[in-house]
């Protein structure tokens, strides 16, 4: 298990730096400091490694349970925004998703992990009567994931992601009035500060 984790992190750092097509197995082996045999014991191919990174990225993200499920959804995006700079597995996962969407033809799952996660939270929000009646959780989940992908790319181009949290806050200020019932809307915190950060100033990245 430890070797597997080491290989995932090494593969993530290579995908993050060179993209899927530019990534070489040799470079991954070098960074992981394992033998080629050890790699192929755990992963059949480069694609298999990419899938390992994609599966691992979502496991990294932990969101505290909240009374309002829509607050959990906001927290999820703020957590990803916070962790992107420090977490190479998360960053590689997003690069694989964006590249695949734009220019590769692999399986479609890099996005699906996030879409499913958002859809489940939105379905819980529906059960808690937080959503306006016309909202379809599956459609809103795709909207959130699609928009977030683009917003973080734009943030990277404009500020090296320094203002990503601010942009996530702007996104929710624009979108929540179209999703949440008024009584819930008034109680949602879109300041992009997480519960475990309260009392301290929000970091800028």
Residue ranges that bind a second copy, judged by CB under 8 A:
19, 95, 97-103, 108, 110-111, 139-140, 142-143, 145-151, 153-158, 167, 170-171, 173-179
Compare residues 40 and 103 and give the one whose CB is closer to a second copy.
103
Residues ≥6 apart with Cβ < 8 Å to 40: none
For the bound state, the minimum distance from the C-beta of residue 156 to a second copy, rounded and expressed in Å, comes to 5
For the bound state, the minimum distance from the C-beta of residue 68 to a second copy, rounded and expressed in Å, comes to 18
Compare residues 6 and 149 and give the one whose CB is closer to a second copy.
149
For the bound state, the minimum distance from the C-beta of residue 151 to a second copy, rounded and expressed in Å, comes to 4
Q: Which two tokens stand for residue 168?
A: 């996530």
Compare residues 52 and 110 and give the one whose CB is closer to a second copy.
110
Residues ≥6 apart with Cβ < 8 Å to 160: none
Residues ≥6 apart with Cβ < 8 Å to 87: 60
For the bound state, the minimum distance from the C-beta of residue 158 to a second copy, rounded and expressed in Å, comes to 6
Compare residues 7 and 89 and give the one whose CB is closer to a second copy.
89
Q: Which two tokens stand for residue 74?
A: 């906001």
Q: Is 54 exposed, middle or buried (0-12, 13-18, 19+ CB in 10 A)?
A: buried
Q: How far is CA 100 from the centre of its chain?
A: 15
For the bound state, the minimum distance from the C-beta of residue 29 to a second copy, rounded and expressed in Å, comes to 23
Compare residues 178 and 203 and give the one whose CB is closer to a second copy.
178
The strand pairing partners of 153, in sequence order, are none
For the bound state, the minimum distance from the C-beta of residue 5 to a second copy, rounded and expressed in Å, comes to 26
Residues ≥6 apart with Cβ < 8 Å to 162: 155, 204, 205
Residue 120: CB atoms within 10 Å: 14
In 3D, which of 90, 67, 70, 66 has the Cα closest to residue 172?
Answer: 70
């Amino acid at each position: 298990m430890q070797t597997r984790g080491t290989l995932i992190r090494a593969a993530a750092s290579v995908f993050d730096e060179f993209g899927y097509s530019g990534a070489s197995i040799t470079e991954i082996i070098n960074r992981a400091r394992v033998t080629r045999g050890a790699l192929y014991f755990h992963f059949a191919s480069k694609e298999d490694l990419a899938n390992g990174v994609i599966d691992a990225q979502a496991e990294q993200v932990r969101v505290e349970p909240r009374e309002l499920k829509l607050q959990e959804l906001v927290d999820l995006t703020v957590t990803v925004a916070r962790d992107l700079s420090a977490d190479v597995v998360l960053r590689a996962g997003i690069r694989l998703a964006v590249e695949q969407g734009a220019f590769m033809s692999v399986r479609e799952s890099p996005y699906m992990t996030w879409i499913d996660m958002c859809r489940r939270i939105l379905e819980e929000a529906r059960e808690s009567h937080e959503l306006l009646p016309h909202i379809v959780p599956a459609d809103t989940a795709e909207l959130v994931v699609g928009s977030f992908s683009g917003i973080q790319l734009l943030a990277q181009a404009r500020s090296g992601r320094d203002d990503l949290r601010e942009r996530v806050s702007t996104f929710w200020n624009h979108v929540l009035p179209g999703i949440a019932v008024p009584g819930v809307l008034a109680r949602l915190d879109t300041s992009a500060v997480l519960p475990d950060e309260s009392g301290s100033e929000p970091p800028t990245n």
